[in-house]
Chain A
């Protein structure tokens, strides 16, 4: 099951560049939350702070508190443990190109010490079913490589890979921006299905997508979170003029 995320006074830097400034918000469990904002506003940095990926860059720094469920991720846990609990899907699908479809999904499990084939088979099947890819690949699991799939299938494969380690939170950084409308629609349907089991945070430039999939939306601008509210409120009657200017395309 998904858990809520509590962010308190989060600040992040790339060298001297203060990319996130005093972010405070509560992301509800088992809902999809969309983050919108112009390029460079800090939304991707923000999601990368939710699984401690930001600090993998040597010039990057983070202060503040992020609680995922009861876990204070900058205090109580190691990055590896956090990334097991917080899965991530990126803009461009990045399957391991030479591995089979099966091995792509099982990779994280094997890394975590799973060896029992029957257990692995079960989890791979369940993950591929949860990512709505099973029916399309079940006959070629070990025959075809991840790279042989279409872009949309590859992205669902990456989602299956993220789900295989049974995370509580799924972060998605523009997961459909490189996909055609049909594949995009499949990913969106998937987000809708998955949020009953996971807490989903999705970064998107496509505002209609945010409106379609997310119950909550946050608007980022210049490293600050300008507005966080129900998606309905943000897209029909936002409280902040800057939000309205952005979503109506009158920005800048």
Chain B
């Protein structure tokens, strides 16, 4: 084994990202717990961890930038660093989503707890499971586990669509419940975003380990080629 210093820096980068991952995962779980038991002290913990996440995001990006500039990484090392930069951004957004959920919980403090036609805990459990599995696939450099995460995203999307439908109906038909329904809708939306970030992380793990770009594979099959579009525009 050569390039010992570089290898150490890569290990350090991975460790820092795992610390960040732990904080982001914890933040989302706390935010969900805060919603479930309507506990504002948990919301404070989420806010505090968001500051730590933001600080780590900058540190990780700086280390990655230094390695790109100083070590000229190639092949799997290059893909690893690119993936870390992107996963880092996704984890920061998971932290943001956790903060958004806890903000919603705060705004619901004075509102009566009502029974709404949306299963937030189930949706939260699925989204958190996706985050956990995507991070596990990163720790184990396991593309198969990452692919399993991709298949889970459709379920969360479907739950979010169902939540939108049922909660807008509540707002139309029972306007006195509109504030609660709106908050629940925003939480569902935040959880759907968390699932999207977990999907991105899983895609980045596949790119790192296998060099395969699996992003947008469904839509790209159908959509127009932007380069071809540019040519057409130029010709007009």
- Interface of A toward B, CB cutoff 8 Å: 207-208, 235-238, 243-244, 247-252
Contact = CB atoms under 8 A, between A and B. Distances in A.
A235 B77 CA distance: 10
A249 B75 contact: no
A248 B79 contact: no
A249 to B, nearest CB: 4
B76 A244 contact: yes
Interface stretch (B1-9, B43-51, B104-112, B197-205): B1-9
Nearest to B73: A248
Given A236-B211, A237-B211, A247 B75 contact: yes
A236 B82 CA distance: 11
A236 B77 CA distance: 9
B74 A207 contact: yes
Contacts of A251: 2
A249 B2 contact: yes
Given A250-B3, A251-B2, A237 B79 contact: yes
Interface string B42-85: 00000000000000000000000000000011111111000000
Contacts of A237: 75-76, 79, 211
B48 to A, nearest CB: 39
Interface residues of B, number: 13
Given A208-B72, A238-B75, A247-B75, 18 more contacts: A207-B72, A207-B74, A236-B78, A236-B211, A237-B75, A237-B79, A237-B211, A243-B75, A244-B75, A244-B76, A247-B74, A248-B3, A248-B73, A248-B74, A248-B76, A248-B77, A249-B6, A252-B2
Nearest to B71: A249
Interface of B: 1-3, 6, 72-79, 211
B75 A236 contact: yes
Contacts of B1: 250
Contacts of A247: 74-75
B149 to A, nearest CB: 22
Contacts of B75: 235-238, 243-244, 247-248
Contacts of B74: 207, 235, 247-249
Contacts of A249: 2-3, 6, 74
A217 to B, nearest CB: 11
Contacts of A248: 3, 73-77
A236 to B, nearest CB: 6
Nearest to A251: B2
Contact of B79 (A207, A208, A236, A252): A236
A243 B74 CA distance: 11
Nearest to A208: B72
Nearest to B211: A237
A252 B3 CA distance: 11
A215 B7 CA distance: 29
A44 B186 CA distance: 65
Nearest to B1: A250
B76 to A, nearest CB: 6
A235 B75 CA distance: 5
Nearest to A244: B75
Nearest to B3: A249
B167 to A, nearest CB: 45
Contacts of B72: 207-208
A251 B77 CA distance: 14
A249 B2 CA distance: 6
A243 B72 CA distance: 16
B2 to A, nearest CB: 6
B204 to A, nearest CB: 15
A248 B74 CA distance: 5
A239 to B, nearest CB: 10
A235 B3 CA distance: 17
A109 to B, nearest CB: 41
Contacts of A250: 1-3
12 contacts: A236-B211, A237-B76, A238-B75, A243-B75, A244-B75, A247-B75, A248-B3, A248-B73, A248-B74, A249-B6, A250-B2, A250-B3
A249 B1 CA distance: 8
A208 B73 CA distance: 10
Nearest to B7: A250
B128 to A, nearest CB: 32
